[in-house]
Structure 1
């Protein structure tokens, strides 16, 4: 399903915003350039805000009439989230995914966008400003790693492996307090459980074939719409904890992404017993 928005132009826009507003500030932020939002680990920087302003302005020209849903825009107007359920066309943007890493001077962050049409994600982009490339998918067309020189590489998730050999990323910080100890204990059943505090980086590792699962409890559209579509187009199975499909308007219900449904069921039964 081809998106009605020029996906290549949107990808280039994310790159332009990174070059203009993000990279010049990396490891150059002053104390006043970093602010906490909901808690000390939930940060926003001048780079987030400037990049989102630039992307929003250009999206209004690239996709006139579309709803713009950015992380910082929603912080100012939470009602934007509810509109994703039935909007005809929207562009969802995370100007810097991994802001905590970015603010800390750690090179694990990305710029992400998804195109939503009639309540369905139809295109997705994850840009790596430091590596200067993109993960791109359109629904039904597969997922690719694309480089600025025009070359590309088809993405494919890892082959399934037994539980004890699974390597993956689990974001445990937002788990309910009553189940968190059990989940942390259960993670001893897999080979490795990591967290890069950056969905852009974690989805990249997964669709590149370097991980066997991703688990998230808090779902915000800018964090997961791009990665889930790219993962699915690379062959993954993705579902909320109750087995239902993940949709653009969902902000709860958890998310588990695996190479196939059997791996999903094993992890859901043995590890993520929420």
Structure 2
């Protein structure tokens, strides 16, 4: 289904410049609200940026179902429509809201294009670096800059388990398994957590880490990143080995530099 990924990428950038960056480090208490818990926040910038992106997507792709993180908070039925939609755009207006609200410059704007349940394009825009990593299915993963510069991205070579560097989100691991998994993570070399899936995926596809693991699977957090990672050569699957689909919101997700690395990590570290 034809669409213009460059124009969609520009919409994300425009929303950042109009709504996100002007509010960065300028939020007062009335501009930040807690959703489900203290680490689950929404800011005035999230809402304004999503409205900006929605307007742009509606003009560019009027036939597309729009599934935004904040839109779903208001209308949860949007998620049920995603798997069967002929065309959908899934948006996270600010990935890493907790960082953004804490004045930390590590957040991203993400969009995925989905056709009949299949992710066909993904974009992760970094407002601070003013560049995108993006992919269309079958066309490779790329870092692109506003001046037109483009660099193809590939995941790093696989390393032995004890030398692997990766990211893992432990906040949503079931409490009865968390201690075991965190203990297993001592088997690898380094496991940071950026509190921003967008930057964790960017790190992986740029060749600076070997894996990423997540337990909570909201589509706006992972559809774009998984496609970009796969186009950069990575292997991704849910923790039971099944393929990750646009409608999945649980079951865990492990992305690694290749299938062998995935199996090594699943067998030795992520032993759910």
RMSD: 0.6
Cα offsets for 1:8-54 (capped at 9, x unmatched): 00000000000000000000001100000000110000000000001
> CA offsets per residue over residues 153-183 of structure 1, 9 Å max, x none?
0000010000000000000000001111100
Q: In structure 2, list runs of 5 or more residues that go unmatched.
A: none
TM-superposition CA deviations, 1:75-119 (whole Å, max 9, x none): 001111111111110000000000000000000000000000011
Which of 216, 223, 227 is matched with 2:214 structurally? 216
CA distance in 1 between counterparts of 2:2 and 2:248 reads 23
Q: Which digits, 9 at most, give the CA deviation of each residue in 1:220-241, with x for residues without a partner?
A: 0000001000000000000000
- 2:206 and 2:92 map into 1 onto residues whose CA distance is 21
Question: 2:75 aligned with 1:81, yes or no?
Answer: no
Aligned to 1:259: 257
Alpha-carbon distance in structure 1 between the residues aligned to 2:110 and 2:181: 29
Name 2:159's counterpart in structure 1.
Answer: 161
Rounded Cα–Cα distance in structure 2 between residues aligned with 1:93 and 1:246: 18
Question: In structure 2, what is the Cα distance between the partners aligned to 1:43 and 1:117?
Answer: 29
User: Which residue of structure 2 lines up, in the alignment, with residue 18 of structure 1?
Assistant: 16
TM norm structure 1: 0.98
Task: Could you list the structure 1 runs, at least 4 aligned residues long, displaced by more than 3 angstroms after superposition.
Answer: none
Q: Distance in 1 between matches of 2:148 and 2:63?
A: 30
- Specify the alignment match of 2:195 in structure 1: 197
For the pair 1:179 / 2:177, whether they are aligned, the reply is yes
**2:139 maps to what in 1?**
141
Per-residue Cα deviation, 1:122-162 (whole angstroms, up to 9, x for no partner): 00100000100000100000010000110110000010000
Alpha-carbon offset, residue 245 of structure 1: 0.7
Whole-Å separation in 2 of the counterparts to 1:66 and 1:186: 43
Partner of 1:117: 115
User: Counterparts of 1:224-235 in structure 2 under 5 Å?
Assistant: 224-235=222-233
Aligned-partner Cα distance in 2 for 1:148–1:66: 25
**Contiguous gaps of at least 5 residues in structure 1:** none
Match of 2:104 among 84, 103, 106: 106
TM-score for the superposition, normalised by structure 2? 0.99
Instruction: Report matched runs for 1:26-41 at 5 Å.
Output: 26-41=24-39
- Structure 2 CA distance for aligned equivalents of residues 14 and 4 of structure 1: 19
